[in-house]
Structure 1
Amino acid sequence: MGINCQILVAENIEFDPIGKQHTIFNVLNRMSVPIFPTAAITNVYFKYLFNEELELNSYVCSVKVLDPLDEIVYEAMLPELKNFRIKEMVPGIDGMVQIRFTALISGNYKYIIYANNEEICRYPLYIDKQ
C-alpha cells in the first residue's frame, strides 16, 4: 500500500511546537469507569510512515471505534497527510486527535485506522466498571 501506521491510546498527549515533539501520558490498555453508559474520552497518537514515491493527496484516512459487539460508536475523517520531515529522514508524520464516544457495555473496544477504506492499523482498549 505504501503507508504504514502505528497508534497509541492515552489519557493525555501534549505537543511542543518549538521542539516539534509529542509527550504521551498514561498509555491505556484498560479504562475503568464508574458507571455504564459512560463518555469515554481518549487521546490517540498516530505515527504514519510513507514510501517516498507515495502520492499523499490520493489518500483519505479515517478512524472508527467499534464496541465489543462490533457496532460503530465513533467514526471520523483524520487530518490530511503531509510529510514535514527533512529529506534525510523516512517520510512520515506524527499527530494526535481526541476521541470521545459513548461506551454502553464493558469489553474490548477497537480503534481502527483506514487509508482509502483499507484497514492499516488497530488498537484494543478494554473498558470495564470499577
Structure 2
Amino acid sequence: MSSANQGMSSAAQQAAAQQAMALAESLAGRSSLPWATRAHARAADRVVETPWRVATGADFIYPRTGGRKPPGTDRLNPYLERVMRAAPYDERVNLALTRVQLLLARPETLLAPTVVARTLFRTPSRRAAPVEAKRRVPDSAL
C-alpha cells in the first residue's frame, strides 16, 4: 500500500474527527475558535501518529536515513519484512496486514499471537506457491 493512500485515509479520519468535534462543540454551546483548534490538533495528532510512525520507521531500512529512530525500529522492521513475505502464502497474515495497510486496524494487531506464530513458524520456503485467491473477502470481514 502506498503512503499516499494511507495519507488520504488518515486525512479522511482527521476530517471525521473534526466534524465530530464541531458537533460536540455545537451541542455544548461552545463557539470558542481557539478551543476548537487545539482540540482538533489533538484529535488529528492521534489519527496521524500511528501511520506516521510506521512510515518513518520503515525509512530506517536504508542505511543513509538520518534523524532519530523511533523506539523499537530495529526489532520491528525485520519482523514486518517477514510479515510481508508470509502474507501471500497465509490468508490470516494477509488479512491482518491488509487491514493495517488500509488503516482499518492498528499495527499492533500484527503482533497478535496467531499472526506472530503464522509469520515466524510458517514462513514459506522459496519454492512454496502463494495461496490462490479463491473468493473475494467480504467487506464485513475487513
- Same fold at TM > 0.5: no
Q: Pick the structure with more helix per residue.
A: 2
Q: Pick the structure with more strand per residue.
A: 1
- Name the larger-Rg structure: 2
- Interval of TM-score (by shorter of Structure 1 and Structure 2): under 0.3
Choose between structure 1 and 2 for higher RCO, CA contacts under 8 A separated by at least 6 residues.
1
